């Protein structure tokens, strides 16, 4: 049997959802620790995250769930963040973890948009819009003392109005009283190719780690390629940490001033020194000044 997670401790009664009011339909996504389903809650369409654990990943799954429950407690409300409505006290089976119930923001994520090269055109205007919306979400979460730590296209939902919403806070951490250090250091590591070098070294994360990830995301929006291609993750980690390796930008054309400024901006985001990266607010200000 898996360890129980107390929703009385981790989530207030106001956000507890009764299983009897919840209906699961089709599976619409998956991640490292479970699946996301389309469902209904009291007649309203919702997305439901159902986590799965086994003996090998049990502690990581519980850690991820606690991070999500912490965010539920924070009651985040922002147009560019997937809103979590609440959690069940448990799953329907004796060993099930609680279900996370979220607003239904859509069935496609930003990675799907990037991959769909035949039907989706990502113009400079659309690209900067996506980048701005993701960074507005981070500006808000950082102001609330939360760092996401797994910013990547697959964790950004694109709704029917072509608006980006940042989701999946399973790696999130809370800022400490000092404002730039965390009160805990979870074992969950996020996604290597989007992860800042100081995190790969095992150092304590700061909000600037999310900005690094935004830089790689912006590169991906421009190139529509996988960062570092099919290279081995150990080689990537060594290169990023020891050789200042970054996704290849050498052959990218700079067709106009706006394109050049966009590239300079995302390169500043992935500076090796965290303090040299722009803040979310500074990123947005510079992005606003880039010609469409």
Q: For residue range 143-178, list pLDDT tens digits in order.
A: 999 999 999 999 999 999 999 999 999 899 988 745
**pTM across the whole model:** 0.89
- Show the tokens assigned to 138: 């981070």
Inter-residue contact 155 to 166 (CB < 8 Å): yes
As a whole number of angstroms, the distance between CA 40 and CA 159 comes to: 18
- Band of the pLDDT at 219, cuts 50, 70, 90? very high
As a whole number of angstroms, the distance between CA 208 and CA 214 comes to: 10
Q: Which is nearest to 280 in space by CA: 80, 143, 128?
A: 143
Q: What is the torsional sign of CA 18, 23, 24, 28?
A: negative
Give binding residues for ATP as ranges: 50
Whether the predicted pLDDT of 185 surpasses 80: no
User: Where are the chain's structural domains?
Assistant: 19-103, 108-178+188-290
Q: Which CATH class is domain 19-103?
A: alpha beta
Number of helices and strands in the chain (H, E): 9, 9
Whether the predicted pLDDT of 58 surpasses 80: no
The catalytic site residues sit at 150
* CATH code of the region 108-178+188-290: 1.10.510.10
Give binding residues as ranges: 50
């Amino acid at each position: 049997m898996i360890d129980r997670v107390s929703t009385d401790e981790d989530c207030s009664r106001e956000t507890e959802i009764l299983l009897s009011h919840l209906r699961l339909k089709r599976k619409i996504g998956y991640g490292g620790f479970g699946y996301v389903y389309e469902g209904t809650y009291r007649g309203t369409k919702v997305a439901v995250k159902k986590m799965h654990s086994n003996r090998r990943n049990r502690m990581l799954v519980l850690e991820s769930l606690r991070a999500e429950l912490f965010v539920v407690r924070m009651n985040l409300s922002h147009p560019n963040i997937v809103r979590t409505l609440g959690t069940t006290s448990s799953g329907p089976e004796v060993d099930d973890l609680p279900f996370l119930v979220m607003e239904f923001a859509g069935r496609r994520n930003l990675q799907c948009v990037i991959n769909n090269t035949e039907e989706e055109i990502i113009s400079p205007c659309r690209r900067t819009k996506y980048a701005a919306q993701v960074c507005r979400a981070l500006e808000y979460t950082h102001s609330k003392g939360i760092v996401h730590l797994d910013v990547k296209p697959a964790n950004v939902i694109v709704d029917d109005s072509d608006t980006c919403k940042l989701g999946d806070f399973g790696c999130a951490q809370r800022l400490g009283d000092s404002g730039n250090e965390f009160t805990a250091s979870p074992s969950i590591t996020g996604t290597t190719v989007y992860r800042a070098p100081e995190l790969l070294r095992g150092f304590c994360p700061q909000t600037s780690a999310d900005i690094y990830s935004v830089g790689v995301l912006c590169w991906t929006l421009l190139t529509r390629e996988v960062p570092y291609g099919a290279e081995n993750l150990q080689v990537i980690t060594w290169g990023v940490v020891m050789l200042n390796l970054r996704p290849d930008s050498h052959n990218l054309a700079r067709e106009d001033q706006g394109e050049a400024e966009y590239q300079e901006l995302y390169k500043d985001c992935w500076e090796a020194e965290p303090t040299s990266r722009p803040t979310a607010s500074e990123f947005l200000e510079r992005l606003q000044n880039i010609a469409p």
